[in-house]
Amino acid sequence: MKRRQSQQRRPSSRRDHASAHLKGVSARHRRAPRAGGLRMRLRLYVLRHAQAFIDSLGRLRKAPLASIMTIMVIGIALALPTGLYLVIKNLRGFDDQWQSATQLSVFLQKELPAARLNKLLDEFKQDAEISDFEYRDPAAVLIEFSQLADLGDSLEVLDDNPLPGIIIVQASATDTQAMTKLAARLEAKAEVDFVQLDRRWLERLYAIVDIGQRAIIVLACLLGLAVLLVVGNTIRLSIEGRRAEIQITKLIGGTDGFIRRPFLYSGLWYGLFGGVFALILINIALLAIRGPVKALARLYDDSFGLLAVDLSTTGTVVIGAVLLGWGGSWLAVSRHLRDIQPT
């Protein structure tokens, strides 16, 4: 009854609609004001994407628990390789500082006659590859050693000094290759027992760090794949939940692109929030180890600073997460939307 009344109240508007309809049928190009011009189209295009962008955020909010769980899984999966990367990066920074270490310890033959020693020191003075050197006789070395190792008393038991003299050489070259060459040359001398490159242990560390870095790349790939699958699965479930809507949208002429769009944006949101969550996790973890790291740094004369998530890492994590989220949802969408057809 009410309906009839409302119809009767607007007889003119009904006629308008009817005549508009006739026009629409007889001359489709005259259908009302349609989107004309490139600017208008572009505006509508941007508007449609903005709508899908915001709409997909609303969808996430409709199932907050599921969304939060997905976001947390993504966050944890991304925090792990990123955190390890930061540790490795800091080790590298530590290493960089020591890259300038150009010292060689030249251990001499025991009981070397003074004449041969002086001859050797003269040779060192002439050597262009040696910028500076300092000779320490066996007695000085013994004192230094006993102080360092806190072995003073036990060394007194020994009848004579078992240690050789040492020349600490400062190489003029700074690259490892030249220094290794110099070490070999000095080692070849009859007066020299062996030469130790102080940088060696750093190189070993460097090699370990290298392995660590590879391991992180592998780990990041695996966990990236996990993120892809997690997002893909979440989107798959969301597609299933909206099956009826997808069918209807297809029936009234929605293109695959139109139907795909909100799901892709959902994936993007998952990625973005997951990435942000990962950064929060990392920062919390860094805060937790701040104290011990500081203590350790003090032992090394504060030669390295605290771990920190820098801007480029932050950017990489967020952009990477967004791409993974988008990619995962793209996988699910391209796989499952095709299966849903109107019946």
Partner 1 sequence: MIIEFDHVSKRYEGSRDALHDINFTLDRGEMAFLTGHSGAGKSSLLRLIALIERPSSGRLFVYGKDLAKVKPRQVPFLRRNVGIVFQDHCLLNDRTVFDNVALPLIVSGQLEHAEIARRVRAALDKVGLLDKEKMNPQRLSGGEQQRVGIARAVVNRPPLLLADEPTGNLDPELSAEIMTLFQQFNQVGVSVMIASHDLALIASMRTRVLTLKQGRLVDDRVLA
Q: Is 342 in the site for partner 1 (CB under 8 A)?
A: yes
Q: Does 245 help bind partner 1 (rule: CB under 8 A)? A: yes
Q: Which of residues 45-74 bind partner 1 (CB under 8 A)?
A: 45, 48
Residues in contact with 232: Cβ distance below 8 Å, sequence separation at least 6, in sequence order: 328, 329, 331, 332
Shortest distance, CB of residue 15 to partner 1, whole angstroms? 10
Interacting residue with partner 1 among 109, 249, 313, 314 (CB under 8 A): 249
Quickly tell me which residue has 């790939």 as its tokens: 221
| Site for partner 1 contains 244 (CB under 8 A) | yes
Is residue 162 part of the contact set for partner 1 (CB under 8 A)? no
- In angstroms, give the least distance from the CB of 54 to partner 1: 14
By CB under 8 A, residue 240 contacts partner 1: no
Least separation in angstroms between CB 25 and partner 1: 4
335 binding partner 1? (CB under 8 A): no
- Rank residues 248 and 280 by Cβ distance to partner 1 and give the closer one: 248
Interface segment toward partner 1; rule CB under 8 A; list 33-41, 92-100, 141-149, 201-209: 33-41
* Binding of residue 243 to partner 1 (CB under 8 A): no
CA–CA separation, 286 and 86 (whole Å) = 10
Query: Taking CB under 8 A as the rule, does residue 212 contact partner 1?
Result: no
279 and 318 Cβ atoms separated by less than 8 Å:
yes
Q: Which stretch binds partner 1 (CB under 8 A): 26-34, 147-155, 178-186, 205-213?
A: 26-34
Helix (H, G, I), strand (E, B), or coil: what is residue 103?
strand
Q: Which is nearer to partner 1, 253 or 291 (CB)?
A: 253
List own/partner pairs for 159-166 with CB under 8 A and 24 or more apart. 163/138, 164/107, 164/108, 164/109, 164/110, 164/112, 164/138, 164/193, 165/108, 165/112, 165/117, 165/135, 165/136, 165/137, 165/138, 165/141, 166/105, 166/106, 166/107, 166/108, 166/135, 166/136, 166/141
Report d(CA 192, CA 152) in Å as an integer.
27
- As a whole number of angstroms, the distance between CA 343 and CA 322 comes to 35
**Minimum distance, C-beta of residue 333 to partner 1, in the bound complex (Å):** 16
Taking the least distance from each CB to partner 1, the nearer of 6 and 312 is: 6
Distance from chain centroid for Cα 204 = 24
The span from the CA of 88 to the CA of 205, in Å, is 11
Report in angstroms how near the CB of residue 234 gets to partner 1 at its nearest. Answer: 19
Q: Per rule CB under 8 A, is residue 32 in the interface with partner 1?
A: yes
Integer Cα distance of 175 and 181 in angstroms: 10
List of residues contacting partner 1 (CB under 8 A): 2-4, 6-7, 10, 13-14, 16-22, 24-26, 28, 31-35, 44-45, 48, 244-245, 247-256, 258, 341-343
